[in-house]
Chain A
């Protein structure tokens, strides 16, 4: 009998028993829909609830500022119809969000007071500052009798068109903005896939332990084979699902792509629609085009999914073996799940600033790297040396995970009764 027959049997069993279920079929179909829906909700919220939650009444003692302000953003500013004392009372009674008092001498001194029921957020203050600064600037120039054409020039805002120089020296239109969003989506997908498949592993381990199936398994194969067989088998299920999605994506893009994206008119319509909705997204969609399929990105995603999944799933298997139920597992898993939760939380910052020191560090540190690096690969041109360092660190950490988890698994899997503490796990690692 071949040396690896048993682990192959375990892998095949784990794989087939998952793939043959209805849950797998449903997950494969609903997974992408769910992700699209989730991203849609996030975008919708940031567009509609981003900066219009408060309204400010304007008390304009100077007399000409408020019309300009309202012109800038009618959803944020309105002209006060009461005197200051009445406004103060309204604010105390929480009938209004706040008011701004523009002094007579604003053009000379340039200071304005805003009164709110507390807080209001940095976004509110910086919008107000930005708006007032540009209005006051123009008014000052007008007062000095500056030529109208000069003022027009100053009013004009700059739009940046992004270009990149390829290795062969050609200039291409850069899809930075679109790719940043693609990176965001991939980051989310990575987060969910690693977590979902990782928890399949810990749930499976706990099932075998609490149903005492493990006693029969352990009398047939080595604990290491049982553990890694499960991790590999479920990992292959994940890969099957992702590859199916990729093929589906390719298929749709090939068939429907020209219909949707190939036609510049439809793209323009989309941009117009986004603009019509107002808010911050509109300006970001300007100058954004739909990028072509990027194979580096797909390979990178598959690669980081494999490494990320194996590292997390192996830890999850070890922890699953130590406990009798999923609640206890979640608790002991916290030290390893925190980094990836942190990673998903700061993904928007990484997306905006993919070459910052923070981004570079988190894309190399294992546990955050699978998610952060894929966002960076999408959003910027990551130096090869950083990718190499990230992969080396992650592979090293995976072996560490195997070493630690195999020890915890071997002892934990036959241990029943008292829930082990974190210190017990450390003891098992030392003694095993």
Chain B
């Protein structure tokens, strides 16, 4: 996807970061295009947080360059970026409104403006009545909302959200998702780091999957899925499905009592005759030939660690 200015919001080129003998980031390159939601994926300890910290000018890369809107990362680019760290942190003994104003001021917003925006966002998140409460008197979910609001008050063009949905109940998670999509619609760019692959499929345009400090898979979400082909069978049924496990052409990816996700591992597999066999032995509610889920792609890629697409 090309943006109208042709300048990527973030461009990471051959970045390396080393702690002692350990390479947190080893030659990572990626581009984030304007107005997209970019998924930054990878197992724990893959080097995502290190990369995010370098984009935020908290760490300096040992080698390579990072630019934001074409400018090298510096103190000046910090005010253009919003950062919601995975490990949330607020002053426990301070009032919600005071903290929101403080964090916004640190990003260069004037106090009166920050106050007005904070009040508006608290209303949007149905939290206006907490403004004068201390964080220690709020529930975890409430504090998560406050922390999310704190990232928005300087009206950044780029938001980096690390596991933004953790700690939210389904209703508030839906509200948060709505706000994130709204921000995207306003033309803002969002980097979403998450372990929940359903969110990646639902929200992200592009992704980069990092493992052991290296980018092992990146590109457009649709294209990545397409490139894996329709090699997965989604099956919902009633009955004893154990006979499927004996089929050497299929591998069970995911199994619950009445639902199985199967991967076709032999190209000579005939899905039509398999469908007929199922119909004879089981009550089939759903039979679908699909691209693999991102859950599967994630596991496969990390385990394989050689696949390079995009």
- Chain A residues with a Cβ under 8 A of chain B: 1, 5-6, 9-10, 13, 17, 207-208, 211-222, 414
Residues A221 and B106 in contact in the complex (CB < 8 Å), given A17-B98, A215-B58, A216-B150: yes
B108: chain A residues at CB < 8 Å are 1, 5
Instruction: Determine if B102 and A215 form an interchain contact, defined as CB atoms under 8 angstroms apart.
Output: no
Bound: A218/B78 CA distance, A: 10
Per-residue A-contact encoding for B95-109, CB less than 8 Å = 1, 0 else: 000100011011110
B91: chain A residues at CB < 8 Å are 17, 207, 211, 213
Instruction: Determine if B75 and A213 form an interchain contact, defined as CB atoms under 8 angstroms apart.
Output: no
**Residue B234 at the chain A interface, CB threshold 8 Å:** no
| Distance in Å: Cβ of A279 to nearest Cβ of chain B | 48
Instruction: Determine if B89 and A214 form an interchain contact, defined as CB atoms under 8 angstroms apart.
Output: yes
A216: chain B residues at CB < 8 Å are 83, 85, 89, 103, 150
B75: chain A residues at CB < 8 Å are 222
**Assuming A6-B106, A214-B89, what are 12 further A-B pairs, CB within 8 angstroms?**
A9-B102, A9-B106, A17-B91, A212-B85, A213-B90, A215-B83, A215-B85, A216-B150, A218-B56, A219-B57, A219-B58, A414-B58
Instruction: Determine if B105 and A212 form an interchain contact, defined as CB atoms under 8 angstroms apart.
Output: no
- Return the contact of A219 from the options B83, B90, B92 (Cβ within 8 A): B83
Residues A219 and B78 in contact in the complex (CB < 8 Å), given A5-B108, A9-B102, A9-B106: yes
A1: chain B residues at CB < 8 Å are 108
A219: chain B residues at CB < 8 Å are 53, 56-58, 78, 81, 83, 85
23-59 of chain B: CB within 8 A of chain A: 53, 56-58
85-142 of chain B: CB within 8 A of chain A: 85, 87-92, 94, 98, 102-103, 105-108
Residues A217 and B98 in contact in the complex (CB < 8 Å), given A212-B88, A212-B89: no
Bound: A215/B57 CA distance, A: 11
B78: chain A residues at CB < 8 Å are 219-221
A220: chain B residues at CB < 8 Å are 78-79, 103, 106-107
Q: Which residue of A lies closest to B105 (CB)?
A: A9
Bound: A214/B106 CA distance, A: 12
| Distance in Å: Cβ of B280 to nearest Cβ of chain A | 58
Instruction: Determine if B58 and A13 form an interchain contact, defined as CB atoms under 8 angstroms apart.
Output: no
Q: Which of A1, A215, A216 has the most CB of B within 10 A?
A: A216
| Distance in Å: Cβ of A7 to nearest Cβ of chain B | 10
| Distance in Å: Cβ of B10 to nearest Cβ of chain A | 14
Instruction: Determine if A211 and B92 form an interchain contact, defined as CB atoms under 8 angstroms apart.
Output: yes
Bound: A285/B222 CA distance, A: 92
Instruction: Determine if B90 and A211 form an interchain contact, defined as CB atoms under 8 angstroms apart.
Output: yes
Bound: A5/B108 CA distance, A: 8
140-194 of chain B: CB within 8 A of chain A: 150
Instruction: Determine if A215 and B87 form an interchain contact, defined as CB atoms under 8 angstroms apart.
Output: yes
Instruction: Determine if A213 and B107 form an interchain contact, defined as CB atoms under 8 angstroms apart.
Output: no
Q: List 20 A-B contacts (CB under 8 A).
A: A6-B106, A13-B102, A17-B91, A17-B94, A17-B98, A207-B91, A214-B89, A215-B58, A215-B83, A216-B83, A216-B89, A217-B106, A219-B58, A219-B85, A220-B78, A220-B103, A220-B106, A221-B78, A222-B75, A414-B53
| Distance in Å: Cβ of B237 to nearest Cβ of chain A | 46
Q: Which residue of A lies closest to B160 (CB)?
A: A219
Bound: A212/B49 CA distance, A: 14
| Distance in Å: Cβ of A19 to nearest Cβ of chain B | 13
Q: Which residue of B lies closest to A211 (CB)?
A: B89
Instruction: Determine if A212 and B106 form an interchain contact, defined as CB atoms under 8 angstroms apart.
Output: no
Bound: A1/B75 CA distance, A: 12
Bound: A218/B85 CA distance, A: 11
B106: chain A residues at CB < 8 Å are 6, 9-10, 217, 220-221
Q: Which of A13, A211, A215 has the most CB of B within 10 A?
A: A215
Bound: A6/B75 CA distance, A: 11
Q: Which residue of A lies closest to B135 (CB)?
A: A211
Bound: A5/B111 CA distance, A: 12
Q: Which of B81, B87, B90, B105 has the most CB of A within 10 A?
A: B105
Q: Which of A17, A211, A214, A219 has the most CB of B within 10 A?
A: A219
A222: chain B residues at CB < 8 Å are 75
Q: Which residue of A lies closest to B85 (CB)?
A: A215
B98: chain A residues at CB < 8 Å are 17
Bound: A13/B56 CA distance, A: 22
Bound: A214/B79 CA distance, A: 16
Bound: A67/B16 CA distance, A: 92
64-91 of chain B: CB within 8 A of chain A: 75, 78-79, 81, 83, 85, 87-91
- Closest A-B pairs by Cβ, 10 of them: A212-B89, A213-B89, A220-B106, A219-B56, A215-B85, A212-B87, A219-B83, A218-B58, A9-B105, A211-B89
Bound: A213/B89 CA distance, A: 4
| Distance in Å: Cβ of A179 to nearest Cβ of chain B | 42
Bound: A10/B94 CA distance, A: 15
Q: Which of A17, A215, A220 has the most CB of B within 10 A?
A: A220
| Distance in Å: Cβ of B238 to nearest Cβ of chain A | 48
B103: chain A residues at CB < 8 Å are 216, 220
187-212 of chain B: CB within 8 A of chain A: none
Bound: A13/B75 CA distance, A: 20
B94: chain A residues at CB < 8 Å are 17
Bound: A238/B159 CA distance, A: 39
Instruction: Determine if B89 and A215 form an interchain contact, defined as CB atoms under 8 angstroms apart.
Output: yes
| Distance in Å: Cβ of B272 to nearest Cβ of chain A | 55
Q: Which residue of B lies closest to A9 (CB)?
A: B105
Bound: A9/B83 CA distance, A: 19
Q: Which residue of A lies closest to B108 (CB)?
A: A1
Q: Which residue of A lies closest to B98 (CB)?
A: A17
Bound: A211/B90 CA distance, A: 7
| Distance in Å: Cβ of B142 to nearest Cβ of chain A | 16
A218: chain B residues at CB < 8 Å are 56, 58
Q: Which of B53, B87, B106, B150 has the most CB of A within 10 A?
A: B106
Q: Which residue of B lies closest to A210 (CB)?
A: B89
B88: chain A residues at CB < 8 Å are 212
| Distance in Å: Cβ of A10 to nearest Cβ of chain B | 7
Bound: A117/B92 CA distance, A: 58
A213: chain B residues at CB < 8 Å are 89-91
Q: Which of B57, B89, B107 has the most CB of A within 10 A?
A: B89
| Distance in Å: Cβ of A24 to nearest Cβ of chain B | 13
B56: chain A residues at CB < 8 Å are 218-219
Bound: A10/B107 CA distance, A: 11
| Distance in Å: Cβ of A415 to nearest Cβ of chain B | 10
| Distance in Å: Cβ of A3 to nearest Cβ of chain B | 10
